[in-house]
Amino acid sequence: MFRRLLSTAVKSTVPQTADVVIIGGGPAGLTLAAAIKNSPVLKNLNCKLIEGGNLIDPLESFHTTTPEDFMNRVVSLTPATISYLQEIKAWDYVKEERTETYDSIHAYDGVTGSKIEFDSPEIATMCENFNLQSALLQRIKDLNEVSESDLEIVEKTKVIEITTNEETNWPIVQLSNGDSIQTRLLVGCDGFNSPVRKFAGIESRGWSYDRWGIVATMKYKNDAFRYPTGWQRFLKSGPLAQLPLPNGWCSLVWSTTPELANILMKLPEDQFIAMVNAGAKLSPEEMGYLYDLAAKNDDTLIDEINWRLSLFNSKLKPEEESSYPLELESMVTNSRGRFPLRLSHADTYVDERIALVGDAAHTTHPLAGQGLNMGQADVKSLVHTLEVSAQRGLDIGTKFALEPYFSERYPENHVMLGIVDKIHKIYSTDSTPIVMARSFGVDVINNLPFLKDFMVSQISNK
């Protein structure tokens, strides 16, 4: 219905034609582009990638003159994601000296203090989004050099309208530069607000978590021990995660309510650092008091935190010290940013001549570091589906040919979204029975190595 309405507005200019048009040059779109060009079966398809933002110069500049400071958008990549990036030979271009692999995650309850530790070789690897995207761009350039047809990246160009060719039923993408392209297959790697999903009339269901994820790049006082470890403390307002980067740096993801996010974002950087240190150790009551001080711009905030932390530290037994992260002493100036957190899941990932990949199909709370990894698994599955269809002589854009991709990915993503959502909910309450039950559960699981190994294998997709 939606398509029909739009189809009346087709521009009179003659559209270009492509086999695959990918909308979005984020991690999902660039991985899909590299994987298609890397595939012996698909490499000669006429494929274009359209990105609304400025993509190539910033990624080239990252590749040639890598910035000194770590950037604030960092993701934790699972071994499965890295193995796929190795398979398509994009990992060769990742600047590994800027990544950090860790073997241990310590998660602890900010209300009861109960803890769970996951230890397993190479649970995950922290990598800046730009490092990943820049590597993918280099790989695409590489593949273009040896390919009969270039994968064209059209940047700084937005998709402003999508219509349908009435004769062929192929989608026609109208671009802000005046061009239009009709395509056998249109892939939406265009993020949560996906224009492709809207064009296809595919519902996306879910809810806002009413939380922001505050990110920042921070540095520990001392990197001599307990490193590299991923730390996550579940505060009632949301988890506070410190994930390791090389040379004593870490990536902060502090999920919190809009009210507290406003307070934390406005703090001078030295007070913000002190609040993160407080959040890693102090009680909910103390944190409530400190948020009040912070909201009032009280300049005793840092002294108050230091006094409370020294009291806390003085009560720790030597063997308990390694149960908490080291304190932070500095941060990359202006590295604070915040992002809205939400759960969303599209009813389907495929339609006639349409596929959705990555955040266009699903978004999740970052507490388990799964969003981008799920998108990478989508790419792997979609490329395999396209290869099988092409080898069987099918038209790769038909819904029939695309169905196996949806059948493979939807259930897996659905389970992961559900697990992450439940963890968020269980830890966002201070209802006594639930708090007691979750602490009991965590204590039991922490003493069952086989169950912990199973959980690690699920989270890291090993």
Ligand X SMILES: Cc1cc2nc3c(=O)[nH]c(=O)nc-3n(C[C@H](O)[C@H](O)[C@H](O)COP(=O)(O)OP(=O)(O)OC[C@H]3O[C@@H](n4cnc5c(N)ncnc54)[C@H](O)[C@@H]3O)c2cc1C
Least distance CB 359 / ligand X (angstroms): 4
Nearest alpha carbon to residue 170 among 315, 5, 37, 352: 352
Cα separation, 250 vs 201, whole angstroms: 41
Question: Is 34 a residue that touches ligand X (CB under 6 A)?
Answer: no
Among 18, 20, 21, 50, binds ligand X (CB under 6 A): 50
Among 110, 171, 195, 230, binds ligand X (CB under 6 A): 195
| Residue among 322 and 334 whose Cβ is closer to ligand X | 334
Among 24, 79, 110, 248, binds ligand X (CB under 6 A): 24
Nearest alpha carbon to residue 353 among 10, 30, 20, 26: 20
Among 18, 127, 372, 396, binds ligand X (CB under 6 A): 372
Question: Is 369 a residue that touches ligand X (CB under 6 A)?
Answer: yes
Nearest alpha carbon to residue 424 among 208, 275, 271, 251: 208
DSSP secondary structure string for all residues of 45-86: S-EEEE-SS--HHHHHHHHHS--SSPPS-EEEEPHHHHHHHH
Region of 14 (left: φ > 0; alpha: ψ -120 to 50; beta: rest) is beta
| Residue among 11 and 221 whose Cβ is closer to ligand X | 11
Among 15, 171, 375, 397, binds ligand X (CB under 6 A): 375
Question: Is 213 a residue that touches ligand X (CB under 6 A)?
Answer: yes
Q: Of 48-56, 136-144, 382-390, 443-451, which segment contacts ligand X by CB under 6 A?
A: 48-56
Least distance CB 128 / ligand X (angstroms): 11
Least distance CB 366 / ligand X (angstroms): 4
Binding mask 225-264 for ligand X (x = CB under 6 A): ----------------------------x-----------
Least distance CB 29 / ligand X (angstroms): 6
Nearest alpha carbon to residue 74 among 123, 128, 37: 128
Cα separation, 235 vs 111, whole angstroms: 7
Among 171, 191, 244, 248, binds ligand X (CB under 6 A): 191
Among 33, 42, 49, 75, binds ligand X (CB under 6 A): 75
Least distance CB 459 / ligand X (angstroms): 11
Nearest alpha carbon to residue 350 among 404, 313, 285: 404
Least distance CB 338 / ligand X (angstroms): 8
Residues 324-343 that bind ligand X (CB under 6 A): 339
Nearest alpha carbon to residue 301 among 253, 263, 262, 258: 263
DSSP secondary structure string for all residues of 357-376: -GGGTEE--GGGS-HHHHHH
357 backbone dihedrals φ, ψ, rounded to 5°:
-140, 145
Question: Is 29 a residue that touches ligand X (CB under 6 A)?
Answer: yes
With a CB cutoff of 8 Å and minimum separation 6, the contacts of 358 are 24, 26, 27, 28, 29, 189, 191, 372, 374, 375, 378, 379
| Residue among 309 and 350 whose Cβ is closer to ligand X | 350
432 to each of 38, 236, 243, 274, 438, how far by Cα in Å? Answer: 54, 13, 30, 29, 10
Q: Of 87-95, 369-377, 393-401, 404-412, which segment contacts ligand X by CB under 6 A?
A: 369-377
Among 76, 204, 232, 428, binds ligand X (CB under 6 A): 76
C-alpha 442 chain-centroid distance: 26
Size of interface with ligand X, in residues (CB under 6 A) = 32
Give the binding site for ligand X (CB under 6 A): 23-29, 50-53, 75-76, 158-159, 189-191, 195, 213, 215, 253, 339, 358-359, 366, 369-373, 375
